[in-house]
Structure 1
C-alpha cells in the first residue's frame, strides 16, 4: 500500500468527490493554506475553475463536492 502525503490525499479526495457529485474530474487541484488556522488546514480554489466548465456557481459546486466527500486517510471533513 502506498502512503500518500496529506496534500495528495486531499487532492485525490477532491477529484473523487467532484467526479461522483458532478461527473467532472479536475486535472489539477491547486492547494492553498488558509491565513487563519480556524479556517482549516488546506483549501483549494478548484470550484472556481470548475465553474467555467460546469456553468454553475462555485458555491453550488463546493456544496456538491463537500456532500460527496468521504472521510478517511487522515482527512476528517471538508467545508
Structure 2
C-alpha cells in the first residue's frame, strides 16, 4: 500500500505598508480552490501542485487535496 498525502498550496504576497486586510473575500477574489476542485485545475500544470500530481502518479501515492489559496496583491 502506498502513501496517502494531504496536499495544499498557499500563495500570498505580503507587505507592511498595505492597509488592505487579507480577508476570506480577498482569497475568493483571487483563487480559492477546495478539495475536488484542485485536481482538474492544477494537474498537468507547471506548478508545485502540478508536480505533486505527477509524483503521486509516478510513485503510486494517493493524494488528498485540501485547498489552494491565492489572494490578489493589495494593489490589485
**TM class, shorter-chain normalised?**
under 0.3
TM-score, structure 2 normalization = 0.26
Bigger fraction of residues in helix: 1
Q: Which has the higher contact order (CA 8 A, sep 6+)?
A: 2
TM-score by length of 1: 0.25
Larger radius of gyration: 2
